[in-house]
Chain A
Amino acid sequence: DAGITQSPRHKVTETGTPVTLRCHQTENHRYMYWYRQDPGHGLRLIHYSYGVKDTDKGEVSDGYSVSRSKTEDFLLTLESATSSQTSVYFCAISKLGQPNTEAFFGQGTRLTVV
């Protein structure tokens, strides 16, 4: 394993409630990503971070916010969960931009919004 821990691994929540997913790394990588995976859509980037307090939007960022207050943690928050946000969420880390860089994934968080 590449030293990435996602928590929780599974969560069921009600529509309208806030939800926070956590990604923790022990690799000291600069880049961290949040993706969602849905049938027929592959992996879609929600937000990513290129350093502490430095984040940017991905292609499906509406309804999501992120925070990175320290290198090892990247939090994804659904301010008011909706059923369309039922998905599997993956965190990834990378040293992108440097020679021989690779991106490594966590094991995913399955979120169900009822």
Chain B
Amino acid sequence: GQQLNQSPQSMFIQEGEDVSMNCTSSSIFNTWLWYKQDPGEGPVLLIALYKAGELTSNGRLTAQFGITRKDSFLNISASIPSDVGIYFCAGQLRSGGSNYKLTFGKGTLLTVNP
């Protein structure tokens, strides 16, 4: 099946630093989604991207849909302790007929040291 390669697997940063993570795939996606998961909770949607080249911000978060439609990145600026968590990318593609499938990366574990 389709695979999303998400990197890095984990990051340890100091409060105030900027963070960048990305996802790549061999498949072309028509939607990219970025999620954050806190311990004991379900993933929560941060940013959704629908067009190749699209750059979207949500507060200190910025994400881009790659021009090739095979990659996406997420940047977090001026990190704070509550940014700690697991960040997932997800890509949507048509799986046949009018059906669609959502595939997830394996996540990036972010640790922020105060």
Interface positions of A (Cβ within 8 A of B) = 31, 33, 35, 40-45, 48, 50, 56, 59, 90, 92, 94, 96-97, 99-108
16 A-B pairs (CB sep. < 8 Å): A35-B104, A40-B106, A42-B6, A42-B88, A42-B106, A50-B99, A50-B100, A56-B99, A90-B43, A94-B102, A96-B101, A97-B94, A101-B48, A103-B102, A105-B42, A105-B43
- The reply to whether B106 and A41 form a contact with Cβ atoms under 8 Å apart is yes
Chain B contact residues: helix, strand, loop or mixed: strand
Q: Which residues of A contact B101 (CB under 8 A)?
A: 45, 48, 96
The interface size of chain B toward A, counting residues with CB under 8 Å, comes to 28
B103 close to A (CB within 8 Å): yes
A102 x B98 contact (CB < 8 A): no
Interface residues in B87-105 by Cβ distance below 8 A to A read 88, 90, 92, 94-95, 98-105
Q: Is the pair B104, A102 in contact by a Cβ cutoff of 8 Å?
A: no
Measured between beta carbons, the chain B residues less than 8 angstroms from A45 are: 101-104
Question: Which A residues lie within 8 Å of B90 (CB)?
Answer: 103
Q: Is there contact, CB below 8 Å, between B105 and A42?
A: yes
CA distance A105 to B43 in the complex (A): 6
Give the CA-CA distance A97 to B90 in the complex, in Å: 14
Inside 8 A of A31's CB, which chain B residues have their CB?
Answer: 100
Q: How far is the CB of A7 from chain B (nearest CB, A)?
A: 14
Q: Which residues of A contact B102 (CB under 8 A)?
A: 33, 45, 92, 94, 96, 103
Task: Say how far A29's CB is from chain B's closest CB, in angstroms.
Answer: 12
Cα of A56 to Cα of B40 in the assembled complex, Å: 28
User: A97 and B98 in contact (CB under 8 A), knowing A41-B106, A90-B42, A102-B33?
Assistant: yes
Tell whether B27 is near chain A: CB-to-CB under 8 Å. Answer: no
